[in-house]
């Protein structure tokens, strides 16, 4: 088949069009109409459903009363990455899912209203917060993703001198690199980074703690450390053919689309995505928008067990992504030149036996192997853990999940606090951006309490 040879990359114009934010924001009229529909509940369930506890009725009332600065401040005060969360939060499962209007009429479109208010803040360029009076203490934040930025922002507001160590070229973590641009354009995340920097926080990008800076140095030089390094790339599947040309790590694959058209020839390609989490969906929809002719998600369990959010699943279906349930990859096959040509799969069945996570275990059906002709395979089966870094800090952990005191987010090292994906795992909640932001706040507040710093949290 000469198909692979004919594959091309997208033109810059088509890339820009395909990767522009998919959902339009609210118009002024629709925002005000929607804001006026909010009942302004007392002790509102949407607030309780928001991991960062944004005072949602208040920010919506401020939109309704033409106070967009106040609205954006309310959002960003509770959630330093509130503009990104407006786009990536699974709102159906959080604030909007809790809205009292769900059964009475239609829930308020809180996510879109939050985006409307934060878009105003981005466009206006007005600062919303200011740094606290210096308290003489220094904190290092390892990782400039949602958790790290959130911790840094809160610490700066409390008067700490804060340095963020970010391994990548840009801060923002998942929000900057890991979510498809047509859902979250990179400038949104970079605005949030800028807001933190404007409070006097130093962000050292391209500096990898553990490689460029030894953890011991941070422990010596700083009064406290917030470890918010997130998780790593996709682990190996452990099957034959993973190094063939055309096999991608889903996280690196999405990352490559965040700034410009990637050098990936997918026009008309047949793509298999292995996994069924949110990253797998992102990789699949990304493939579609890079011009792939057919995108199949290969998952060894069923729709019921998939971890992707319902809205992500719906979005993927709308984009034309196909799903091969109860299908597991066996090996990846390539041609003489080392390019992937087929994915060999086996059909699975769910055994009545439940695994450690309570989900039914998938088992292969004998002699059900088949070959799927493909031009690319994208692997999205989770993320590796930064076990080495954790051990370099000398922290107790369980299979790469840092152990913390949930009340203070303090690790086994008295100077080190942890937040975000680095503590996610082993059944501890969901790895959401909004949860990471909250944990970052909590770590910062615990540090303030530890040093008896009065929380200043000044809004401008």
Partner 1 sequence: MADLGINLAGIRSPNPFWLASAPPTNTGYQVQRAFEAGWGGAVWKTLGDPIINTSSRFAAVHFGGRRVAGFNNIELITDRPLEVNLKEIYETKKRFPNHAVVASLMVEPKREKWHEIVKRVEAIGVDGLELNFGCPHGMAERGMGAASGQQPDLVEMQTYWVKEAATTPVIVKLTPNITDITVVARHAVKGGADAISLINTINSLAGVDIYSWNTIPHVAGKGAHGGYCGPAVKPIALNMVAECARHPEVGVPVSGIGGISSWQDAVEFMLMGATGVQICTAAMHHGFRIVEEMIDGLNNYLDEMGLASVAELVGRSVEKYSTWGDLDLNYKVVARINTETCINCNKCHIACEDTSHQCIERKTNAEGKEILVVREEDCVGCNLCSIVCPVDGAIDMVEIDEGLAPMSWNQRQKALAALNEAEMGVV
Contacts with partner 1 by CB under 8 A lie at 32-33, 35-36, 39-45, 64, 100-101, 103-104
Distances (CA, A) of 184 to 97, 204, 288, 342, 456: 21, 24, 17, 32, 31
Cβ of residue 24: shortest distance to partner 1, in angstroms? 21
**32 or 239, CB closer to partner 1?**
32
What is the spatial distance between Cα 269 and Cα 261, in angstroms, rounded to a whole number?
16
Cβ of residue 100: shortest distance to partner 1, in angstroms? 4
Beta strands in 73-160 (DSSP E): 138-142
**42 or 263, CB closer to partner 1?**
42
Distances (CA, A) of 45 to 36, 107, 441: 18, 12, 21
**25 or 45, CB closer to partner 1?**
45
Q: Which helix (H) or strand (E) holds 352?
A: strand 340-354
Cβ of residue 71: shortest distance to partner 1, in angstroms? 16
Q: Which helix (H) or strand (E) holds 289?
A: helix 278-289
Cβ of residue 68: shortest distance to partner 1, in angstroms? 15
Cβ of residue 261: shortest distance to partner 1, in angstroms? 43
Q: Are strands 370-373 and 340-354 parallel, antiparallel or unpaired?
A: antiparallel
What is the spatial distance between Cα 94 and Cα 432, in angstroms, rounded to a whole number?
11
**65 or 221, CB closer to partner 1?**
65
**57 or 144, CB closer to partner 1?**
57
What is the spatial distance between Cα 71 and Cα 52, in angstroms, rounded to a whole number?
15
**92 or 267, CB closer to partner 1?**
92
**63 or 234, CB closer to partner 1?**
63
**31 or 247, CB closer to partner 1?**
31
Cβ of residue 440: shortest distance to partner 1, in angstroms? 30
* Tokens 């953890």 sit on residue: 215
Residue 86 token pair? 């407006």
Cβ of residue 66: shortest distance to partner 1, in angstroms? 10
Cβ of residue 91: shortest distance to partner 1, in angstroms? 18
Cβ of residue 101: shortest distance to partner 1, in angstroms? 7
Q: What residues form DSSP beta bridges with 226?
A: 141, 417
Helix (H, G, I), strand (E, B) or coil at 390: helix
Nearest to 93 by CA among 312, 357, 320, 420: 312
**33 or 310, CB closer to partner 1?**
33
Residue 245 dihedral angles phi and psi, to the nearest 5°: -70, 130
Residue 15 token pair? 């890339």
What is the spatial distance between Cα 445 and Cα 451, in angstroms, rounded to a whole number?
10
What is the spatial distance between Cα 404 and Cα 395, in angstroms, rounded to a whole number?
9
């Amino acid at each position: 088949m000469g198909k692979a040879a004919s594959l091309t990359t997208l033109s810059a114009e088509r890339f820009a069009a395909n990767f522009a934010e998919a959902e339009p924001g609210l118009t002024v009229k629709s925002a005000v109409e929607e804001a006026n529909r909010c009942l302004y509940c007392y002790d509102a369930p949407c607030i309780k459903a928001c991991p960062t506890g944004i005072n949602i009725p208040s920010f919506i009332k401020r939109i309704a009363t033409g106070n967009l600065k106040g609205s954006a401040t309310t959002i960003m005060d509770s959630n330093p990455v509130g503009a990104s969360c407006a786009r990536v939060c699974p709102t159906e499962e959080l604030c909007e899912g809790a809205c009292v209007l769900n059964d009475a009429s239609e829930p308020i479109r809180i996510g879109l209203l939050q985006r409307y208010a934060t878009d105003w803040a981005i466009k206006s360029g007005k600062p919303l917060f200011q740094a606290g009076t210096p308290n003489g203490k220094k904190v290092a934040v390892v990782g400039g993703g949602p958790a790290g930025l959130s911790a840094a922002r809160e610490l700066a507001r409390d008067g700490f001198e804060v340095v963020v160590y970010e391994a990548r070229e840009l801060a923002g973590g998942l929000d900057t690199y890991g979510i498809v641009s047509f859902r979250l354009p990179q400038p949104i995340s970079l605005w949030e980074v800028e807001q933190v920097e404007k409070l006097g926080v130093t962000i050292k990008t391209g500096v990898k703690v553990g490689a460029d800076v030894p953890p011991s140095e941070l422990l010596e030089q700083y009064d406290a450390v917030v470890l918010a390094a997130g998780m790593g790339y996709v682990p190996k599947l452990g099957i034959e053919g993973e190094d063939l040309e055309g096999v991608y790590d889903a996280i690196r694959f999405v990352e490559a689309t965040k700034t410009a058209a990637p050098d990936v020839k997918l026009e008309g390609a047949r793509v298999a995505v292995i996994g069924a989490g949110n990253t797998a969906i992102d990789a699949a929809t990304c493939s579609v928008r890079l011009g792939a002719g057919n995108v199949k998600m290969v998952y060894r369990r069923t729709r019921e067990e998939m971890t992707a959010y319902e809205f992500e699943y719906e979005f993927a279906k709308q984009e034309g992504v196909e799903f091969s349930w109860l299908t597991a990859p066996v090996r990846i096959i390539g041609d003489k030149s080392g390019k992937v040509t087929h994915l060999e799969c086996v059909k699975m069945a769910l055994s009545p036996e439940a695994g450690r996570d309570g989900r039914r275990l998938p088992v292969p059906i004998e002699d059900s192997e088949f070959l799927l002709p493909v031009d690319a395979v994208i692997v999205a089966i989770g993320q590796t853990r930064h076990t080495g870094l954790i051990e370099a800090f000398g922290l107790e952990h369980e299979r790469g999940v840092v152990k913390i005191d949930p009340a203070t987010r303090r690790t086994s090292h008295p100077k080190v606090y942890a937040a975000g994906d680095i503590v996610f795992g082993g059944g501890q909640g969901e790895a959401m951006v909004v949860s990471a932001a909250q944990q970052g706040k909590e770590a910062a507040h615990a540090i303030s309490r530890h040093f008896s710093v009065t929380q200043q949290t000044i809004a401008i």
